[in-house]
Amino acid sequence: MKIKLQIKLLVTGAVLLLGACASTTKPGVVGVTRQQLLLVPAATVERMALVSYAQQAEKAKAQGKLITSGEEYDRLLRIANRLKAQVGVFREDTRDWKWQLILIDAPVLNATCAPGGKITFYTGIVRQLKLSDDEIAAIMGHEFAHALREHGRERVSQAVAQNAITTAALAGAQNRQTQVALANQFAQYLFVLPNSRQNESEADGIGLELAARAGYDPRAAISLWQKMGRASEGKNTPEFLSTHPANTTRINEISALLPTVLPLYDAAKQ
């Protein structure tokens, strides 16, 4: 009986894992089709990301560093809106996300897009790297891609599978205090830990296509990562590169994709 029960549990577990495997996005012309492990509901991840996002905005506002208007903010918002108009190519449902953008005035080389379309940029990355609109679109498209592809949800699901985050913690996050605690735990997997090479390749490809379809030159991704590489030559590694390592392989892969996405850019300019 014990052996039969173990077999039944193994079979049940295998079925659940298979049922949790899916591709979150359509392939686009760049052809991202990998199946992902998605044990945690998207709504749970988005709710936790929103808690972290609100905390971040509140802290920046308290410090007088939150920018919500003006030339720099409007520039980023304009680029974001053009990219958002293209997200349906990969996921129709993301058109209905409650997209938000915050700009934080700090000498930090970083930008993110949390699950649910919560965008954060720091003035440091734009000013210090002297980014063009095309280069900003390359960063933003890359970060959009992480959100569209639900890489954060995938990493949280992997943590649940490894019991690093327990199902009891997920079920118990009902009040504000427990939600904040769980959100902080989620943040480690959403923003802090380095992305895998596989996830980075997917975000590069999808980001290139989003930028090209929005009318931004995808070749700017090469100059962007070259700038990132030079920025990493100093004593302090930029925060962006702690989770998005710049290397020759990335630039080579982007170069290989350019013939695929440049026709989209040419079409968008007409």
Q: For the chain, what is the domain count?
A: 1
- Domain holding 130, by residue range, is 37-269
User: Among all residues, which ones are annotated catalytic?
Assistant: 143
Domain assignment present for residue 230? The answer is: yes
The Cα–Cα gap between 269 and 52 comes to 38
| pLDDT value, residue 85 | 97
In sequence order, what are the residues at sequence separation of 6 or more whose Cβ sits closer than 8 angstroms to the Cβ of residue 8? none
Q: Which residues of the chain have pLDDT under 50?
A: 1-19, 168
| pLDDT value, residue 152 | 87
The Cα–Cα gap between 61 and 50 comes to 16
User: Which segments of 47-202 are extended strands (E)?
Assistant: 66-67, 100-104, 111-114, 118-122
Domain assignment present for residue 144? The answer is: yes
Helix (H) or strand (E) holding 22: strand 21-22
Domain assignment present for residue 3? The answer is: no
Domain assignment present for residue 17? The answer is: no
Domain assignment present for residue 30? The answer is: no
Beta bridge partners of residue 136, listed in sequence order: none
Domain assignment present for residue 9? The answer is: no
> Amino acid identity of 95?
R
Report whether 117 contacts 95 (CB < 8 A).
Answer: no
